[in-house]
Amino acid sequence: MYGVSGTGSVVGEEWGARAARSRALAVLRVRGRALGLAVLPAAVAVVLYAGGATGHFTGSGWDTARWVVTVLAVLVLLAGTAVALVVARARPAATPTVELSETAAPDLYRLVRDLADRLDVPAPAAIALTPDCDSWLEDRTHRAHRALRTPGGEGEGEGAPVLVIGSPFLWWMRVGELRAVLAPVVAGTGPAAHPDIAAARRFVRGLDAAVAVPETPGLDPFRRLGAGAVGQVARVLLRACRGHAAEMERGVAAAGSERAQAVDYGVRIVAQEQVGLAYAGWDRLLTRVALPAWRMGRWPAKLDAGVVSALTELSRRDRLADGFSSRLGERPACDLLEEPGAVDEATSLLAARLFHGGPAEPGPDWSPVEWSQYPEEVVDRKWRTDAARLHQVLDGLGLADSAAGGGGRGRGGEGVADGPTLTRVIAHLSTEPAKPADVTADVAADVDADVDDADAAAVPGDRPLPVEGADARSHDDGRVTLTDEVDIEDATDVDLDIEDDEEAVNPAAEALAGALSALLAREEAAREARVAATALTAEAAARSAERNDRHSGTTPPVVVSGPDGPLPLFPLQPPRSGRDLLADHVTAMVCCAAVDTAEATPGLDWLDGPALLVGGERAADLGPRVLALVEDGDPEPLRAWLARTGVRPEKPVRLV
């Protein structure tokens, strides 16, 4: 089944393994050519000296050639030695994981060993968990990673890779499904044990690590210059073997898949559906549920358990997921762990570090939160923080209509109450913008005034004059801002194209959104500065400990950083637009008013995150009404919703 015997291969003669080995040899040939180029000047110098010793290459010209080639050979050998040392000593990147010792998961180690025996491949050296919906083998044989690895037990080779398992799989999948999903991954330890494939992988990882050496902090200018030269050489070699390395990994994956066909093949087809479902639920849980908590300085301590609730809710809502929740009666894979709660908490903290950039350890400003406390500790606090920020921005813009003393009037003659009220927000955002005809008339009058002034003082041939004061008027009364120069002769023909705009613009909302974006940017910059300072302090402490413990052979934990600085390595969401931020803050203000003045409570929706519960039901129709106010300046849909739910917008709300 696995090929022809007698070839001397340890892992069998699957076609994928043969392809992987041929590509590994191609990678090693790149290394050999680089070595040959490094020793070529030395070989030429040896030939020249041998010719001189035998009397064939004599004369002043040959003596000069010998000296030139000798100097060149020494320089090239020194440079090649430096490159080789950097490639060999550079620390390859390691995925941040939660290490599992055999005492913490004996049943899981037993399952993996049994799987390796059935596949006739070496067992992984250790098992680690990652907060992601994926599984793979990771080589951690580099000396910088050995101290971080928890050995799997007796009889496992030091050169075997580490099995990294996505933590959501353990909580959502059943034991049989997990075994079927891991079979192709564990089968990859066979090709990984081949000397050629292992050597090619080490060479590629070393080149990849050498490319990042110039970015290492703490290098003096001279060392950074040398590291930059080594990095350039590593880039050239990496480009030369990139294609072969990619094909080698494809061959290894194909070999593992072919070998795993004999183990639980039918179950694997069903389990692959669970992989896609788990990915969807995990993504929604992180972006909709965990991210708001992380932004509040709280991290959910049971994310993996939460993904089960999210996927169960998805199966209840989606017809395509019918029947998946019935699997929950079978034994979950997390039962293979001795303390699932402790492991879930560790992976949840790691997820917060990777996807948000939180601290590595809990603290006063970074504390865990249980799901039962999420509505009060996260949802309600988030709403009140956003509402306070919204009123802070209104105060900063000088728009506290009634704060100076009683009695601004909103649109339609509505009185604006004092204090942080929803009425104040609605009255500001529902200010009706100028009509297109009025705006055109105002602009034409301004332009005519500028034309009269220009005719009195200008000479023929003067350049067109800008419309002065337009920017100030746009900020004061919300009219259109003119920034381009207007030709005097064509000033009255200015076409504002207001009627052609596809999207209604609320000037008051635009100004408020801009101020909110600026304030949030400052808060985020301050938070990132604190995280960066903490990471730099931890990194300095780690480097100091590494220097102190170098004689004992121990290695301190690695401070994980991204390519552009500290964590997060994988931000969950791109920056939000100002309009989205404003809509979120207005929604938070509405929710605060509903909680304080009506029979509403904060809640948690496993797929959509923070939710407002009115009469025990989620208020799903609030979003479009807030958007109508923010985008169109139309408060009527929101007022109708407030009247229907019994919310009193004129009452001040409680802020943080």
Q: Tell me: the pLDDT tens digits for 438-487?
A: 433 443 444 344 434 434 433 333 333 333 333 333 333 333 333 333 33
> Which burial class, exposed, middle or buried, applies to 613 when counting CB atoms under 10 A from its CB (0-12, 13-18, 19+)?
buried
- Residues 208 and 92: their CA atoms lie apart, in Å, by 7
User: Mind listing the pLDDT tens digit for each residue in 540-582?
Assistant: 665 666 556 555 544 444 344 333 344 566 666 667 788 889 9
**Token pair belonging to 429:** 């955002």
Q: How many CB atoms lie within 10 A of CB 277?
A: 20
**How far is CA 119 from each of CA 5, 68, 128, 151, 257, rounded to the nearest angstrom?**
17, 59, 21, 21, 11
User: Mind listing the pLDDT tens digit for each residue in 35-88?
Assistant: 999 999 999 999 999 988 888 888 888 889 999 999 999 999 999 999 999 998
pTM of the predicted structure, to 2 decimals: 0.75
Please report the beta strands in 9-52, taking only residues with DSSP state E, as ranges in sequence order: none
Q: Name the residue among 262, 310, 5 with its Cα closest to residue 120.
A: 262
For the chain, helix (H) and strand (E) counts, in that order, are 22, 11
Binning pLDDT at 50, 70 and 90, where does residue 144 land? low
Contact 420, 388 (CB under 8 A): yes
Binning pLDDT at 50, 70 and 90, where does residue 290 land? very high
- Cβ-Cβ contacts under 8 Å for 184 (sequence gap 6 or more): 253, 256, 257, 259, 260, 268
Mean pLDDT of 515-519: 88
- Residues 260 and 212: their CA atoms lie apart, in Å, by 36
- In the block, tokens 């994981």 appear at 97
pLDDT over 90 at 430, yes or no? no
Residue 368's H or E segment, with its range, is strand 367-369
Binning pLDDT at 50, 70 and 90, where does residue 591 land? very high
- In the block, tokens 């000037």 appear at 507
| Per-residue pLDDT at 272 | 84
What is the DSSP secondary-structure string of 592-607? HHHHHHSSEEEEEETT
Residue 98's H or E segment, with its range, is strand 98-100
| Per-residue pLDDT at 146 | 57
Binning pLDDT at 50, 70 and 90, where does residue 369 land? very high
User: Mind listing the pLDDT tens digit for each residue in 149-186?
Assistant: 544 444 344 568 899 999 999 999 999 999 999 999 99
* Mean pLDDT rounded to a whole number for the chain: 78
